[in-house]
């Protein structure tokens, strides 16, 4: 399916006139179902090209401050995915004592056992342009870029899970920044923020506790 097709098929399904109550349920339930999967395999739920379309769709449609569109992604499949996790292990092995590395290696092997990894970046050149253009908000632009990046991460994470993959979110930046720059020649202005390994799940997510919403959400002026 071309990227135009995914746009068209999603648009034709969901671009109906806006409806009222109850229409958010499908979205909210997919959001709730998204979990962290550490046990993943090399098997693919969908073709790599469809993963690419989903990432592009998310990056395109997620909102950004002043529509700055600061989020960038590098999608690594197959050998490139393996190479990323091998390189990450190499970097960490050069820094950690051997006894600590054993556990870390197991963790990294778990991510490498997956089918692919999506690296998320902010483009600092766009952030700098925004800071120049709107000096009043200069301090906020890196924060807003991070926020929109997180929105894109959640969107991709949720969509890939809906397609049958399990994902997790990892943060080996900045330790692996130079490896990524050297191997995949991403622009120097791309700042690595997160890594999302994915693959068909081979285990269930762990238990999850929830804090009381009474402590987390305040309401004022409610009428019904």
Ligand X SMILES: Cc1cc2nc3c(=O)[nH]c(=O)nc-3n(C[C@H](O)[C@H](O)[C@H](O)COP(=O)(O)O)c2cc1C
Stretch of residues binding ligand X (CB under 6 A), selected from 1-9, 97-105, 163-171, 174-182: 163-171
The Cα–Cα gap between 170 and 184 comes to 19
**8 vs 36, beta carbon nearer ligand X:** 36
Task: Please select the residue that binds ligand X; options are 62, 170, 179, 190, rule is CB under 6 A.
Answer: 170
Which residues pair with residue 167 across a beta bridge?
36, 198
**104 vs 129, beta carbon nearer ligand X:** 104
Which residues pair with residue 199 across a beta bridge?
166
162 binds ligand X (CB under 6 A): no
35 binds ligand X (CB under 6 A): yes
56 binds ligand X (CB under 6 A): no
CB of 103 to ligand X, least distance (A): 13
168 binds ligand X (CB under 6 A): yes
Query: Considering only CA atoms, which of 149, 143, 128 is closest in space to residue 192?
Result: 149
Query: Considering only CA atoms, which of 129, 113, 80 is closest in space to residue 200?
Result: 113
Q: Determine phi and psi for 128, rounding to 5 degrees.
A: -65, -40
Give the DSSP letter string of 97-116: -HHHHHHHHHHHHHHHTSSE
Size of the site for ligand X (CB under 6 A): 8
Task: Please select the residue that binds ligand X; options are 185, 208, 211, 222, rule is CB under 6 A.
Answer: 208
Residues that bind ligand X (CB under 6 A): 35-36, 168-171, 205, 208
């Amino acid at each position: 399916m071309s990227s135009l097709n995914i746009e068209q098929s999603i648009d034709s399904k969901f671009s109906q006139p806006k409806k009222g109550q109850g229409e958010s349920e499908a979205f909210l339930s997919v959001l709730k179902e998204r979990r962290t999967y550490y046990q993943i395999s090399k098997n693919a739920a969908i073709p790599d090209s469809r993963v690419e379309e989903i990432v592009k769709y998310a990056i395109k449609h997620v909102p950004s401050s002043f529509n700055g569109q600061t989020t960038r992604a590098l999608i690594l499949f197959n050998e490139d995915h393996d190479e990323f996790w091998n390189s990450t292990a190499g970097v960490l092995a050069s820094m950690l004592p051997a006894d600590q590395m054993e556990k870390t290696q197991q963790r990294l092997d778990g991510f490498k056992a997956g089918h692919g990894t999506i690296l998320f970046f902010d483009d600092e050149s766009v952030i700098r342009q925004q800071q120049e253009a709107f000096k009043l908000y200069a301090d906020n632009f890196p924060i807003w870029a991070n926020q929109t990046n997180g929105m894109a991460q959640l969107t991709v994470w949720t969509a890939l899970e809906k397609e049958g993959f399990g994902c997790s979110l990892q943060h080996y930046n900045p330790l692996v920044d130079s490896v990524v720059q050297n191997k995949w020649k991403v622009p120097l202005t791309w700042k690595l923020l997160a890594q999302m390994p994915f693959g068909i799940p081979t285990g269930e997510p762990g238990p999850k506790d929830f804090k009381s919403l009474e402590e987390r959400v305040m309401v004022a002026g409610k009428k019904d």
